[in-house]
Amino acid sequence: MNLEIKKNQTNTMLDTRLDADILSQAQETTVNDALSPILDGIWDNLDPRNRWLKDYSKEKTFQSAYARAKKELWDKQKFLRNGNRYMVDILNDNRMSVEKQNQNFWREYKNYLTNTYWNNEIAKRYNDALDLHYTYGNPKINLLSDDDAKAVKNQTTYSATLHGGRSNFVAETNEMNIFYNYDGKFSAKTLVENYLAELLHARQLSDLGLEEFYRRQGADIKRNNISSWDMNAYDKKMYTDPNSIEWVHVWQGPAMEKRYARDYALEEDEDHKEERLEILNTYAQQYKHREFKPYENQGVIRIIQRALAEQGYELSSLKADETFDGIWWNETRDAFINWTKTQ
Q: Give the C-alpha separation, 154 to 211, whole Å.
A: 18
Query: If you compute the radius of gyration of the chain from its CA atoms, what whole number of angstroms results?
Result: 24
Q: Count up the domains in the chain and report the number.
A: 3
Tell whether 212 and 152 lie within a shared domain.
yes
Is the predicted pLDDT of residue 176 greater than 80, yes or no? yes
110 in any annotated domain: no
Burial bucket for residue 65 (CB in 10 Å: 0-12, 13-18, 19+): buried
116 in any annotated domain: no
Report the interhelical angle of 188-208 vs 210-223 (nearest 10°): 100
Q: State the DSSP code for 86.
A: E
pLDDT band at 274 (very low <50, low <70, confident <90, very high): very high
Tell whether 253 and 268 lie within a shared domain.
no
Tell whether 245 and 174 lie within a shared domain.
yes
pLDDT at 281: 95
10 in any annotated domain: no
Give the CA distances from residue 74 to residues 68, 87, 88, 339, in Å, rounded to whole numbers and listed in that order: 11, 10, 7, 30
Q: Give the C-alpha separation, 107 to 20, whole Å.
A: 15
pLDDT (average), residues 257-271? 85
Tell whether 218 and 272 lie within a shared domain.
no
Tell whether 52 and 83 lie within a shared domain.
yes
162 in any annotated domain: yes
Q: Which residue has the higher pLDDT, 252 or 161?
A: 252
Tell whether 214 and 305 lie within a shared domain.
no
Q: Where are the beta strands (DSSP E) in the chain?
A: 27-29, 54-55, 78-81, 84-87, 140-144, 168-170, 175-179, 181-182, 185-186
Strand order in the sheet with 54-55: 27-29, 84-87, 78-81, 54-55
Q: Three-state SS for 121?
A: helix
Q: Which residue has the higher pLDDT, 332 or 257?
A: 332
Q: For the whole model, what pTM was predicted?
A: 0.71
49 in any annotated domain: yes
Using one digit for the tens of pLDDT, what is the confidence trace for 89-104? 988 999 999 999 998 8
Tell whether 191 and 246 lie within a shared domain.
yes
pLDDT (average), residues 41-46? 49
Range of the domain at 79: 31-88
Which backbone phi and psi does 166 adopt, to 5 degrees?
Answer: -135, 140
23 in any annotated domain: no
The last residue of a domain, from among 213, 235, 258:
258
Tell whether 290 and 205 lie within a shared domain.
no
pLDDT (average), residues 246-266? 84
305 in any annotated domain: yes
Tell whether 144 and 239 lie within a shared domain.
yes
Tell whether 203 and 291 lie within a shared domain.
no
118 in any annotated domain: no
The last residue of a domain, from among 48, 65, 88:
88
Tell whether 249 and 286 lie within a shared domain.
no
